[in-house]
Amino acid sequence: MKGENDPLASFWMPFTANRAYKAHPRQLVSASGMHYRSADGREILDGTAGLWCCNAGHCRPEITEAIAKTAATLDFAPTFQLGHPLAFELAQRVAALMPEGLDRVFFTNSGSESVDTALKIALAVQRARAQGARTRLIGRERGYHGVGFGGISVGGIVGNRRTFGIGLPGTDHLRHTHDLTRNAFSRGFPQHGAELADDLQRLVDLHGAETIAAVIVEPMAGSTGVLLPPVGYLQRLRDICDRHGILLIFDEVITAFGRVGGATAAESWGVTPDILTMAKGLTNAAVPMGAVAVKRELHDAVVDHAPAGIEFFHGYTYSGHPLASAAGLAALDIYSAEGLFDRAKQLGGYWEDAAHDLKGRRSVIDIRTTGLVAGIELEPRPDAPGARATELFHACFDNGLLIRATGDIIALSPPLIVGKAEIDEMFSLLGDLLDVID
């Protein structure tokens, strides 16, 4: 209907309690370095790198200038049957950062698209290898793989699934690894739970390996509250995949580009997947872009052995968009020049101590950290799960700190340029506010 007067009404906001937000809107109007500025003129310390994505901090001139220059030179160029140099250059640079062997790169526009692309690549690889009966895709409970139908089907969050029907047929799920009884307040990776990887063997025994194309996991589940892999878990998954010809996909949409140290969690934690998804930090989030890195032999299985013509029938109008490619190249330059992939290791100990100092604060039932990520789990109110963390999120924002609340878990993942003084500021404010929230 034309003539709507409420300026907040038209935007149907994503993953938002729209009615609550519009009753009490909190808007961001500018950003620089470690801070946002709110519409009411306050500085907000960014404890979440936006949404796990502005790893080099906000509004970096090197990136904004690269985008502006490219917008004025080559606003758009198709990458279907054509191309432009920036996309090729970025693919080569990304390939060089990936774990050994994953040097073929497909561009998308988001994490969700990267996940659906990775699942399709897995199916195409199995078919190209004359394993076309392998169509089953395995995910994990509490996994988040974006919002495409592929991603929600292998994902394990009920809210992403209950409204949308049955999703892809032929998916199944490993159990999640979150176990507060055995692992609460662990430092580093939890000691207990590697045996949960044997769930994959259970699914092989149930479905038959010859029907399973791939298994997808986040090396560290971020969106459901910073769930770290138990010691030995990822390697055990890798071993079971190898034994049965199952492709292993790591969804590194939040962990790639320095979050846990090194360019990828795979590199940092010494387990190499066959396919790796990324997005977010790829362009420092200045222009939407995602990518999928694939082992060369898998790429070759699909591309080299196909009949003449299009080998992989998939792509997006904006795959390798010039502005995103320019932003990506500038972001990678900053990461390298400032050594930002080393920050999580350099600051990880300080960060871990600061987070664990919150032990004993009101309602805190677990603290877990890795690299520059922290999850602080609160006891849910019996009558209102999630309410306590949401109140804390609002209180933090009103007091100048951006955190992320997911269920009753607070997730922190600041830009990698964060300093010790800002870490102190974050955890001291959080501690004070935890004490006043009942």
Ligand X SMILES: Cc1ncc(COP(=O)(O)O)c(C=O)c1O
Q: Which is nearer to ligand X, 254 or 418 (CB)?
A: 254
283: contact with ligand X by CB under 6 A: no
Q: Which is nearer to ligand X, 13 or 310 (CB)?
A: 13
Q: Are 213 and 122 in contact (CB under 8 A)?
A: yes
Closest chain position to ligand X (CB)? 111
Minimal distance in Å, beta carbon 94 to ligand X? 16
293: contact with ligand X by CB under 6 A: no
Q: Which is nearer to ligand X, 37 or 314 (CB)?
A: 314
222: contact with ligand X by CB under 6 A: yes
Minimal distance in Å, beta carbon 221 to ligand X? 8
Minimal distance in Å, beta carbon 410 to ligand X? 16
Q: Which is nearer to ligand X, 104 or 280 (CB)?
A: 280
Q: Which is nearer to ligand X, 220 or 376 (CB)?
A: 220
Applying CB under 6 A, the span of 34-42, 54-62, 215-223, 302-310 interacting with ligand X comes to 215-223
| Amino acid sitting at position 350 | Y
- Taking residues 104 to 133 in sequence order and writing x for each that binds ligand X by CB under 6 A, - otherwise, the string is ------xxx--x------------------
55: contact with ligand X by CB under 6 A: no
Minimal distance in Å, beta carbon 254 to ligand X? 4
279: contact with ligand X by CB under 6 A: yes
Minimal distance in Å, beta carbon 301 to ligand X? 25
Tokens, residue 260: 């846990």
Q: Which of 223, 283, 369, 406 binds ligand X (CB under 6 A)?
A: 223
Minimal distance in Å, beta carbon 69 to ligand X? 25
Minimal distance in Å, beta carbon 143 to ligand X? 8
218: contact with ligand X by CB under 6 A: yes
What is the size of the binding site for ligand X (CB under 6 A)? 14
Q: Which is nearer to ligand X, 142 or 299 (CB)?
A: 142
Strand 409-412 to 404-406 pairing: antiparallel
Among 47, 346, 393, 358, CA closest to 185? 358
According to CB under 6 A, which residues from 142 to 181 bind ligand X? 144-146
Q: Which is nearer to ligand X, 281 or 395 (CB)?
A: 281
Among 21, 56, 30, CA closest to 393? 21
Applying CB under 6 A, the span of 3-11, 72-80, 82-90, 248-256 interacting with ligand X comes to 248-256
Minimal distance in Å, beta carbon 412 to ligand X? 15
Produce one character per residue of 333-342: b if its CB has 16 or more CB atoms within 10 Å, e if not.
Answer: bbbeeeebbe
Q: Which of 103, 251, 267, 366 binds ligand X (CB under 6 A)?
A: 251
104: exposed, middle or buried (Cβ count in 10 Å: 0-12, 13-18, 19+):
buried
Strand partners, 254: none
- Taking residues 58 to 97 in sequence order and writing x for each that binds ligand X by CB under 6 A, - otherwise, the string is ----------------------------------------
Residue ranges binding ligand X (CB under 6 A): 110-112, 115, 144-146, 218, 222-223, 251, 253-254, 279
